[in-house]
Structure 1
Amino acid sequence: MKNRDLLIGFATGVAATFVVKELVDRNQKLYPADEVLKQVKNSFKEEGPIDGSWIYMKTEPYTQHAVTTDVYKGGITRHRDDELEQFEFMADAFTGAVVEVSKV
């Protein structure tokens, strides 16, 4: 009987650990400088070289059509046809997906 109780306790602990880890991973934000900015820069590099980039390290709430999420704001600068182009972007803090890009 004691071995069975020990096995049940161990299995319960493992299951609880797995559930807690999944919940934490779902709500964890990406680190902006390492992941979000890198993803956005790689997307812009497909169209040509970039000169500079920046990103705010704090998230801001962003609402679009009754859906609210936290986003990182940032920007990209590049030269195209001897003309300076500047873009501002907002990227989802949880997935890194770009939700809005605007030319400045």
Structure 2
Amino acid sequence: MSWRKFLLGVGVGAATALLLQTQLSKEHISAEKALKLAKEAFKKSGPIEGSWINTGKETFDADGIIHDVYRGGISKVKDGKLSHFEFVISAKTGTLIEVNEE
């Protein structure tokens, strides 16, 4: 086997690994991106005072459909009083699945 064929094989292997890694990482959005999307949705009804998100994904059953999700929270002033909301957001699409006011 010549060095040229060996180096070509290594290059093709590295390129394939990089492409595969890129595709697998696109399967889910990051927790930071999910929080940004949630904040954009909440900002439509007024300013936000604070926010948080768990960076670990978990599974969530919504009417028999299992989702990979992030859990987070938003604090905002509602009717002159600070209100807290917890949300569940899809780790795949960034869609809010559930919102509960505490």
TM-score normalised by L of structure 2? 0.73
Deviation at residue 25 of structure 1 after TM alignment = 4.9
Deviation at residue 80 of structure 1 after TM alignment = 2.1
Name 1:53's counterpart in structure 2. 51
Deviation at residue 77 of structure 1 after TM alignment = 0.0
Structure 1 residue 32 corresponds to structure 2 residue 31: yes
Give 3-state SS (helix, strand or coil) of 1:57's partner: coil
Deviation at residue 64 of structure 1 after TM alignment = 2.0
Q: Any gaps of 5 or more consecutive residues in structure 2?
A: 1-11
Q: Any gaps of 5 or more consecutive residues in structure 1?
A: 1-12
Amino acid aligned to 1:31 = S
Instruction: Give the root-mean-square deviation of aligned CA atoms.
Output: 1.9
Name 1:42's counterpart in structure 2. 40
Name 2:93's counterpart in structure 1. 95
TM-score normalised by L of structure 1? 0.72
Count of paired positions: 84
CA distance in 2, matches of 1:65, 1:44: 24
For the structure 1 residues 65 and 81, does the alpha-carbon distance in structure 2 shift closer, same or farther, using more than 3 Å as the test?
closer
Give 3-state SS (helix, strand or coil) of 2:40's partner: helix
